[in-house]
Structure 1
Amino acid sequence: MADIPSHHYIYGTCADYITGETIVDTDDERCRQDLARLLVEEKGYAKKDLEPRLSIETLYNGQFVASTIDITVREAGKRFMLLRFAPGSIVTRERSAIAAARVLEPAYRIPLAVVTNGRDAEVLDTGTGKVIGQGLDKIPDKKAAEYLVKSLRFEPFDDETKKDRERRILNAYDVEICCAGGPCALPGAPEG
């Protein structure tokens, strides 16, 4: 086995496109920043419509996990869509994105979730769990969002048993998601 000192290359720091905050510059973060630029420059959202790096914290079986929601999008004062980025296969990220959309907002289930690897995307209906759009071009733009929020269902997700199940799903799926700003879950890595 190769002796690899770290599994993430850190380039230094960069300014977050949405907030201007200084953040750790990694390959994954560069993809997240490209996603933010896509939403503003191509999809027409204002930076104030976007909330980066929200977190859902869970603790099950002694395993603490902070699940990051890369970008949450608001329209007409409501969070209507969240986006989660991860490299690789996007189909493996569907269930955790749906779980996040069901528990992030205390008042209602966020109706849409997007999973992306930066090159492809799936838009998911978080009520049914079904893929309703495939490709970055299917992510709703600002104009579409203005109409969508009138027809989307912002249903309460207040059954505590169901909420607990969704948080458990997040905890299980995101346990190995790491690292910038948090401990790395990979055994033997210097960050962990």
Structure 2
Amino acid sequence: MPEHHSHHLVYGTLHDYLTGEELVDTDDERIRQRLSRMMVEMLGYRREELEPRLSIETLFTRHFVRSVIDLTVRLDDKQFMIIRYGPGSLVSRERAALAAARVLNGSYQIPLAVVTNGTDAVLLETATGKTVGEGMTSIPTRSAAAAMLPTLLFLPLQDEEKRLREKRILNAFDLERCCIGL
């Protein structure tokens, strides 16, 4: 089991729905597990099409941040959507999700990003940052995603300066400030 340093209430451990890996059991992790289960059991994705806990590591102004992408969704061997979970307000998490979708993949920008708090969601188009759907039902089913896949824009990577800016945004938004200095 991974070492866990946090202000979150820990209930013990649980096993990841997708991988079977032992994880720290927190309220947030339980919601992440429900999201994975929903993607498979309700929306029709195969477990192997969902990549949990991919991450992007950044270091700016002496602040190392490991930004975790809760789920990365793949169809036809292409990552086409990321899902980021966070409690509370969704609008405050949209910009970081867009930044993550723009830099996570080393070959192209992932075209869709979902921000969710487990009860509500926003579906964003990575290229423009525009909201293309709201609510949990905006997360496309596997069949809907397969139908839209040919129309999605898999843009090439941004130039290095723009990628660096996106990483700075991700670093700033994902820096845990609640426990600094304690």
TM-score range, shorter chain: over 0.9
What is the CA RMSD across the aligned residues, in angstroms? 1.2
Q: 2:181: which partner in 1?
A: 187
> Could you give the per-residue CA deviations for residues 90-137 of structure 1, whole angstroms, max 9, x where no partner exists?
110000000000000011000000000000000000100011000001
Q: Matches of 1:114 and 1:185 in 2, distance apart?
A: 27
Residues 1:36 and 2:63 are matched in the alignment = no
Q: What does 1:10-29 correspond to in 2, within 5 Å?
A: 10-29=10-29
Query: Counterpart in 2 of 1:95?
Result: 95
Unaligned runs of 5+ in 2: 1-5
Deviation at 1:158, TM superposition (A): 3.4
Q: Distance in 2 between matches of 1:165 and 1:147?
A: 33
Deviations 1:123-174, CA, capped at 9 Å, x for gaps: 0001000110000011011001111111101011230010000000000000
Runs of 4+ in 1 over 3 A off after TM superposition: 184-187
Note the C-alpha offset of 1:187. 3.3
Note closer, same or farther for the CA distance 1:163–1:94 as it changes in structure 2 (3 Å cut): same
1:18 Cα shift?
0.5
So what's the TM-score if we normalise by structure 1? 0.90
Match of 2:125 in 1: 125
Among all aligned residue pairs of Structure 1 and Structure 2, give the percentage whose two residues are the same amino acid: 57
Residue segments in structure 1 that go unaligned for 5+ positions in a row: 1-5, 178-183
Question: Which is further off, 146-155 or 162-171?
Answer: 146-155
Corresponding pairs, count: 177
Could you state the TM-score of these two structures normalised by the residue count of structure 2? 0.94
Deviates more, 1:64-73 or 1:150-159: 150-159
Partner of 1:65: 65
- The alpha carbon displacement at 1:176 in A equals 1.1
